[in-house]
């Protein structure tokens, strides 16, 4: 079974599921993630330093679907599209579990433009 790491900020206080409102996760490498569509995965956080500590599994989910999303850059401006259509970024950020747009922007600041994957845990689609 595939394991997916999550930052503790996205795990609810009880530690047995994702925080309310986190409907999906965005990851690099669309082609890699597409092969897990429909499969069960375990979600975990690291107990300490990533890759140098134990994994703490907090739930199991089914990946309902994997949708392609593209990050485009023009100078210092970035935009996200799904199927060539722009996305309302504050909604994308909220659905990905971020409290505000600035946190979302900082989280993805180092990402290179290109195709990524939205891993959906619900029936919601953009």
Is pLDDT of 37 > 90?
yes
| Residue 87 resides in a domain | yes
Identify the DSSP state of 123.
S
Q: Is the pLDDT of residue 63 over 80?
A: yes
pLDDT at 75 over 80: no
Tell me the mean pLDDT in the region 66-75: 90
Short-list 55, 45, 62, CA closest to 119: 62
d(CA 55, CA 116): 25
The confidence band for 104, taking pLDDT boundaries of 50, 70 and 90, is very high
Query: Which of 119, 123, 107, 105 minimizes the C-alpha distance to 69?
Result: 119
- The CA distance from 81 to 67, in Å, is 11
Domain count, the chain: 1
What pLDDT shows up at residue 50? 93
125 assigned to some structural domain = no
- Please report whether residue 68 resides in a domain: yes
pTM over 0.85: yes
Neighbours of 78 (CB within 10 A): 15
Statement: residue 42 has pLDDT above 80:
yes
- Answer whether residue 126 is part of any domain: no
| 38 assigned to some structural domain | yes
Domain range for residue 59? 2-120
Residue 109 confidence (pLDDT): 86
């Amino acid at each position: 079974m595939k394991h997916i790491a999550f930052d503790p900020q996205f795990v609810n206080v009880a530690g047995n599921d994702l925080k309310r409102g986190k409907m999906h996760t965005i990851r690099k490498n669309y082609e890699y993630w597409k092969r897990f569509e429909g499969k069960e995965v375990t979600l975990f956080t690291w107990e300490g330093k990533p890759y140098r500590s134990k994994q703490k599994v907090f739930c199991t989910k089914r990946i309902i679907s994997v949708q392609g999303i593209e990050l485009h850059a023009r100078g210092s401006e970035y935009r996200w599209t799904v199927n060539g259509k722009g996305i309302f970024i504050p909604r994308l950020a909220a659905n990905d579990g971020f409290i505000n747009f600035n946190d979302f922007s900082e989280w993805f600041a180092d990402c290179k433009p290109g195709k990524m994957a939205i891993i959906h845990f619900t029936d919601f689609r953009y």
